[in-house]
Amino acid sequence: MLRTHTCGELNISHLGETVTLCGWVQKSRDLGGTTFIDVRDRYGLTQLVLNTDTDAALRETGRGLGREFVIKVTGKVLERSNKNPKMPTGEIEIGVSEIEILNAAKIPPFMIEDETDGGEELRAKYRYLDLRRNPIRNNLMLRHKMAQEVRKYLDGRYFIEVETPVLIKSTPEGARDFVVPSRMNPGEFYALPQSPQTFKQLLMVSGFDRYFQIVKCFRDEDLRADRQPEFTQIDCEMAFITQEDILNIFEGMTRHLFKTVKGIDLQNFPRMQYADAMRLYGSDKPDIRFGMEFVELNDVVQGKGFSIFDNAELVVGINAKGCADYTRKQIDELTEWLKRPQIGITGMIYCRYNTDGTLKSSVDKFYTEDDLTNWAAAFEAGPGDLMLVLAGTADKVRKQLNELRLEMGTRLGLRDKNTFAPLWVLDFPLLEWDEETGRYHAMHHPFTSPKPEDIAMLDTAPGEVRANAYDLVINGTEIGGGSIRIHDRGLQALMFKHLGFSPEEAQKQFGFLMDAFEYGAPPHGGIAFGFDRLCSIFAGLDSIRDVIAFPKNNSGRDVMIDTPSTIAEAQMNELKIKTTL
Amino acid sequence: MLRTHTCGELNISHLGETVTLCGWVQKSRDLGGTTFIDVRDRYGLTQLVLNTDTDAALRETGRGLGREFVIKVTGKVLERSNKNPKMPTGEIEIGVSEIEILNAAKIPPFMIEDETDGGEELRAKYRYLDLRRNPIRNNLMLRHKMAQEVRKYLDGRYFIEVETPVLIKSTPEGARDFVVPSRMNPGEFYALPQSPQTFKQLLMVSGFDRYFQIVKCFRDEDLRADRQPEFTQIDCEMAFITQEDILNIFEGMTRHLFKTVKGIDLQNFPRMQYADAMRLYGSDKPDIRFGMEFVELNDVVQGKGFSIFDNAELVVGINAKGCADYTRKQIDELTEWLKRPQIGITGMIYCRYNTDGTLKSSVDKFYTEDDLTNWAAAFEAGPGDLMLVLAGTADKVRKQLNELRLEMGTRLGLRDKNTFAPLWVLDFPLLEWDEETGRYHAMHHPFTSPKPEDIAMLDTAPGEVRANAYDLVINGTEIGGGSIRIHDRGLQALMFKHLGFSPEEAQKQFGFLMDAFEYGAPPHGGIAFGFDRLCSIFAGLDSIRDVIAFPKNNSGRDVMIDTPSTIAEAQMNELKIKTTL
C-alpha cells in the first residue's frame, strides 16, 4: 500500500506514530510559516501541518498544491491544540515531514463540497467529480450495504441467486424492448430483458424452489425523474407457497433492511385492498404517512340544484385540517395548480369551517348553513378545517383528488422523509382496459393468476376479475410488486386468449413456458422490488439518479462518455443493418 | 407454505409427526397392496408409503402418478424397516394419508437422473428439465455460494460494489461489441460492455478507493466451449496500491473461496515471469499440476548434420517420464495428432531411454549413442523415459510443444481435476504485434501501465516493453488478469499513439478518461476474474456451459426460448433501422 492508514482512522491513540496518508487536497490555509492542509479520502478527512518556515522543500511543494491534488504525505501524529469534536480525526493532526504530489489537478469545474455550485448538466458531464462529493458517495455506499443485506437475508432463507440471461427474446407485450442485432444470425435480434420473469418461472419448474437475483433490467421508454433505461430489480420467486408466505418473507426482508441499514424498527405492515386504496386515496399506491382520506359526498350534496354536483358521477373531497385560514388567494392558487393539464380539473369547491363555528363555502348560493353542517359531519370536520371538494367521473376525479391530497400533505408538512409508512396493496384487478388498443391488458403481467373464485367472470366481466397480485408501497411510492403465477397450461392459454393473442402467437412467443407447464410445474409466485427506488427512499431522495453511479439523462444519454453515438459503417455491414434516417 | 417440511430434512427425530411434503415423483414401485414413491425437491428425496389395500382413493390417485408429477402429501413419519444409510432421510418414510396432484407431467424427453440419456440439443431445448438434474443444480448452487463468499470477502475489506452501466459507448479497440440502436437518438447506438474497465477507473478518480462488481459482460465473438456471448466477471479495482497489494488481496480471495467452498487449504501461490512461462511451458497459462518442463536443445543437437535441427531457430523437447515403452504405433498416433491443422507440426523426433540402459532415437542416422547420452543428460532422463523433440521457429514450436505437453500430462493422468495448482504469471509484455493489422495491440488493454524502467523503450523496442500486468492461472486456465493502470494523461496519450490512434481519435473515444486524469487521478490498479471459468474449475467441468443457468449454443442461440429472432417491421421503423440481407 502507498499508505499506512486512511484519512479517517487516526485518533489520539496513534500519537507519536509515523504514518503515511494518501488522498486529495480538500483545502489549504497558509498562516505564514505554517500551512494547514485538509487531506481527504473516502474514509474521512485529516489535518496536515506543514512547518514551511524550517523546511524549504516542504514550503515549495506546499505552495504548489491546489484543490484536488493527489498527495502522499508522511509525518508524525500530533495532538491538536484546537480540537474538532465533530470529526473522528479531530483530536489529531499530522506534522508532515515529507510530501509527494502523486498527481496534479486542474481547478474543478464546480466545488467538491456537500453543497456544490455545479448545475445538473455540468455535474453530469464531470460525473467522476460529482461522485467525489460525500452525499453522492454516501448514497452509493448505502446502496452497496442494502444489496449486501438483501443477499444476507435471502441467502439465510435458502434463496439461491441465479443469473438469468441478458440477451433474450423480444416480445411485443408490455413496454418497448431494447434490441441487439445478432451478427451470427443475420436479420435476427436479441432483446434486453424488461425483467427475468419467464426465466424465474422456469427455475421454479426446474425445482430451484427459492430464487432471487439483483439484476439489471431495461425498458426503452421515454424517461422521467424516476425512470432510467436501465434499472435494477431485486427479483424473487418461490414455489409451493401462498400469497401470505410471500408477503411475510418480503415484509421481513424490508424490515430487515430498515433495521440493519437505518436502525429503524418498523411495525407490521398494514394491508389494503386495491379497491379500498382507490376509494380512499384515489391511488393504488397511497401515501399513508398521513390520513386525509377521501370522503364521498354524493348523498350529502346532490339534489340541491347545483348542477355540477348533481350531474357528477362522483363528488368527493378531503378535509385539510387546520386550513380554514387559507386566503382566497391561496385557494385560487391551489385551484390554478389543479387546472394545469397534468391534473386538469375544471373547478374546485371549498367550505371553510371557521374557528368561530360558522361555515362558509364557495357555493353558498346552493347550500344553506344546515347543508354545510351535513358536509362537515361527513368530513368529520371541526372549527379551523377546510373542506376541498371535486366532482366528475369517478376514475378521473379520484386521480385528481389524489394529486390534491398529496399536495396538501406536502404543504402541511405531513410527508416527512424520515418517516416510513409501508403498505401492502392487495387484490389488484387482473386486467385493465386500454382505450388506445381497444383491448384488455394484463395489469401486472400475463403470467399472473386470477383468483380462482373469479375465473368464471373472465368471460362475463373481465374487468372485475381480481388477481392474486400485490404491491408493496412505501410513502406513496411503489417499491415492489408481484403475484401468484399461473402454473397450468390451460389457464395460461386462456389468459393469452383474453389478452388478444391468437393460439399461434401465444405459442410462438411463450410456447417454451406453456410447454414447461406440462412437465410438472409447481404452484409458485414471486415479487420484484425496484432497487433504485428503494435506495432512493432510504437515501431520502426524490429521484433515483443519485443512487446510480452513472445515470442517463432524460434523453437516454450519458453525457460524460457521450453515448449513444454513431458506429462505423463496417460494423453495421457486419451486422447486416443500416439506419434509415 | 403448502408444506410443513422439505423432502430433505426429516429423520428419526421426527417419528410420529404428521407432516406435509411437496415435490416431484422421482419413481414409484407398486408392490401389490403397498406402493413406494420417492418424492424429490431441491433439498432431497423422501420415501412415501401408500397402503393402497385399505384406501381406495389413495389407490386411485397413486395409480395415476407418473414420473415428474408434482404432488402434495400428508402423512405420518414412520421408521423404515429397510434403512438407507446413504440418504439423509434414509431412516424414515412417510405413511401417506392424503395425496393431492398439484400438477401432472408429460413423460420427460430424457431421464431426470444424475446420468441422463438426453443428448446435448435435447437438453438445451428442455433446459428447465435438465436443470432439475442434481449435477446441474449443484453447479448453480455452488456458483451462488461462490458469489456470496466473494462478496463477503471483499465487503470485509472495504470494497464497495458499484453497478456500472450496461448501455455504454462502442469502441473499436478490442473484441467486437454488441450494439443497441437508440430510439430516442436515431442513428445512434449504445454498446454492451466488454468490461466495466473505464468506469471502474473513473470510480478510482472519484475516490471510491476499493470497488468491485460481479457483472455481466458481452463479446460478439465466434463461440467455443469456454466462451459465451454474455459472461460474468468479478471486476475489481483499488487505489493507492502496488502490484504486490493486488496479488496479496486476490490471492487471499481465491484461497478464501477454496477454503469456504471446497474445504481446501492452498499454499502460497507460486509466481512466474511471463518470459519464463513461455520458455518453460510455451504458454502464458501453464498447467503446473505437473512438471515436464521444456528443455532447449540447440546446443546439444545442432551441428551433427541433421538439417531439420540445424536449420531450426529452436529445438525443444519434453521428457515423458516412464513412456519408453510407447510403441511405434503409439508414437505415430501422437505424431498424427500433432500434425492436425490446429497444431500443425511437420514431424516429431523421439528418443527412448530403454530400461536396459540403451538409447534409441528416430534419428539414429545422425546421432551416436554418445550424442543421445548428452540428450538424456539435458533432459535429466533415465531408464524408462521417452524424450519427445520438436523443431522450428521459436514462437511456433513452443506453442506446439505446449499442446504436446498438455496431451502427455492428460495421458499420464497428471491433470487430476481435484488437484488445484494456482500460479501468478507476471510481467506480461505491454504490446503484441498483430500481423493482420500490421500494428501493435495492447496485450492486456490500452490502460495498462508500462513498467517505468521500460518506458524509454516504447520508441526503440516496443515489443520488449514489459507491463505491470499479471494473470492468475489455475490448472492451465486463466481465471483472472489485471494490471496497474496509467493515471497520467500524458502517458495515456503516448500509449494511444503507440497503438496507432490519432490524437483526435483518442480524444473522441477516450477523452472522458484522459480528461478525468487531469482532475486528480490516484495511482490505481485492478483485476478481473472470469467468474464462469472459476465456477467451472470449482465444479470440475471443462466447459462453462453447465455453470450457467441458460447458456447459448455455439451459434449464439438459446434454443429453448428460440432467440435471436426476427422483430416486427414496426419496431425497426421506430428504431430507424432496417436489415440488409
What would the mean pLDDT of B334-354 be, rounded to a whole number? 95
Centre a 10 Å sphere on the Cβ of residue A481 and count the other Cβ atoms it contains.
22
> Residues B496, B434: one domain?
yes
Task: List B residues 284-343 in contact with A (Cβ-Cβ < 8 A).
Answer: none
- Is residue B356 left, alpha or beta, with left meaning phi > 0 and alpha meaning psi from -120 to 50? alpha
**CATH code of B395's domain:** 3.30.1360.30
Average pLDDT, chain B: 95
Residue B112, φ and ψ in degrees, nearest 5: -85, 75
Cβ contacts of residue A71 below 8 Å, gap of 6+? Answer: A22, A23, A24, A25, A39, A65, A99, A100, A101, A102
Average pLDDT, chain A: 95
Q: Does A247 touch chain B (CB under 8 A)?
A: no
What's the pLDDT score for residue B52?
A: 82
Query: Helix, strand, or coil here: A76?
Result: strand
Please tell me the least confidently modeled range out of A96-110, A241-255, B51-65, B437-451: B51-65
pLDDT in tens, B94-124: 999 999 999 999 999 999 999 998 899 999 9
> Residues B514, B408: one domain?
no
Query: Helix, strand, or coil here: B426?
Result: strand
What would the mean pLDDT of B215-223 be, rounded to a whole number? 92
Q: For residues A269 and A392, is the Cβ–Cβ distance under 8 A?
A: no
What's the pLDDT score for residue A529?
A: 98
Task: Measure the CA–CA gap between A154 and A162, rounded to whole angstroms.
Answer: 12
What's the pLDDT score for residue B225?
A: 63
Q: Identify the domain boundary among B415, B434, B468.
A: B415
pLDDT per residue rounded down to tens, chain A (581 residues): 999 999 999 999 999 999 999 999 999 998 888 999 999 999 999 999 999 888 888 888 888 999 999 999 999 999 999 999 999 999 999 999 999 999 999 999 999 999 998 899 999 999 999 999 999 999 999 999 999 999 999 999 999 999 999 999 988 767 899 999 999 999 999 999 999 999 999 999 999 999 999 999 999 988 776 789 999 999 999 999 999 999 999 999 999 999 999 999 999 999 999 999 999 999 999 999 999 999 999 999 999 999 999 999 999 999 999 999 999 999 999 999 999 999 999 999 999 999 999 999 999 999 999 999 999 999 999 999 999 999 999 999 999 999 999 999 999 999 999 999 999 999 999 999 988 888 899 999 999 999 999 999 998 999 999 999 999 999 999 999 999 999 999 999 999 999 999 999 999 999 999 999 999 999 999 999 999 999 999 999 988 999 999 999 999 999 999 999 999 999 999 999 999 98
Task: Measure the CA–CA gap between A374 and A382, rounded to whole angstroms.
Answer: 12
**Residue B567 domain-assigned?**
no
Shortest distance, CA B212 to any CA of chain A (angstroms): 10
> Residues B57, B17: one domain?
yes
Q: Identify the domain boundary among A80, A103, A126.
A: A103
**Residue B252 domain-assigned?**
yes
> Residues A502, A430: one domain?
yes
HSE at residue B569, side-chain half, CA atoms within 13 A, is 0
Q: Do A576 and B580 touch (CB under 8 A)?
A: yes
What's the pLDDT score for residue B60?
A: 87
Residue B314 pLDDT > 80: yes
What residues of B are in contact with residue A147 (Cβ under 8 Å)? 161
Report in angstroms the alpha-carbon separations of A515 from A15, A519, B33, B116, B356: 71, 7, 35, 20, 68
Cell digits of residue A215: 439484476
Cβ contacts of residue B258 below 8 Å, gap of 6+? Answer: B264, B265, B266, B420
Q: Which of A243, A221, A242, A240 is nearest to A230 (CA)?
A: A221
Q: For residues B345 and B352, is the Cβ–Cβ distance under 8 A?
A: no
**Residue B574 domain-assigned?**
no
pLDDT in tens, B542-555: 889 999 999 999 99
Q: Identify the domain boundary among B82, B103, B124.
A: B103
Q: For residues B137 and B42, is the Cβ–Cβ distance under 8 A?
A: yes
What's the pLDDT score for residue A33?
A: 85
What residues of A are in contact with residue B179 (Cβ under 8 Å)? 180-181, 567, 571, 575
Query: Helix, strand, or coil here: A241?
Result: coil
What residues of A are in contact with residue B126 (Cβ under 8 Å)? 519
What's the pLDDT score for residue B345?
A: 94
**Residue B261 domain-assigned?**
yes
**CATH code of B532's domain:** 3.30.930.10
- Number of alpha helices (DSSP H) and beta strands (DSSP E) in chain B: 17, 23
> Residues A385, A313: one domain?
yes
What residues of A are in contact with residue B553 (Cβ under 8 Å)? none
> Residues A143, A257: one domain?
yes
Cell digits of residue B220: 460478439
> Residues B408, B297: one domain?
yes
pTM given for the model: 0.96
Structural domain count, chain A: 3
**Residue A127 domain-assigned?**
no
What would the mean pLDDT of B499-514 be, rounded to a whole number? 93
Shortest distance, CA B100 to any CA of chain A (angstroms): 12
> Residues B93, B142: one domain?
no
Could you give the ipTM of this predicted complex?
Answer: 0.95
Q: Which of B257, B252, B267, B135 is nearest to B539 (CA)?
A: B135
What's the pLDDT score for residue A225?
A: 63
Shortest distance, CA A53 to any CA of chain B (angstroms): 27
**Residue A87 domain-assigned?**
yes
> Residues A489, A448: one domain?
yes
> Residues A211, A150: one domain?
yes
Task: Measure the CA–CA gap between B526 and B197, rounded to whole angstroms.
Answer: 9
Name the more confident of A174 and B243: B243
Q: Does A22 touch chain B (CB under 8 A)?
A: yes
> Residues A411, A446: one domain?
no
**CATH code of B24's domain:** 2.40.50.140
**Residue A241 domain-assigned?**
yes
> Residues A150, A267: one domain?
yes
What residues of A are in contact with residue B579 (Cβ under 8 Å)? 181, 186-187, 576-577
Residue B483 pLDDT > 70: yes
Report in angstroms the alpha-carbon separations of A394 from A313, A345, A429, A550: 6, 13, 17, 42
Q: B103, B137, B210, B509: best mutation site toward chain A, by most A Cβ within 10 Å?
A: B103
In which domain, by residue range, is B392 found?
290-415
What's the pLDDT score for residue B54?
A: 83
**Residue A474 domain-assigned?**
yes
Q: Do B185 and A102 touch (CB under 8 A)?
A: no
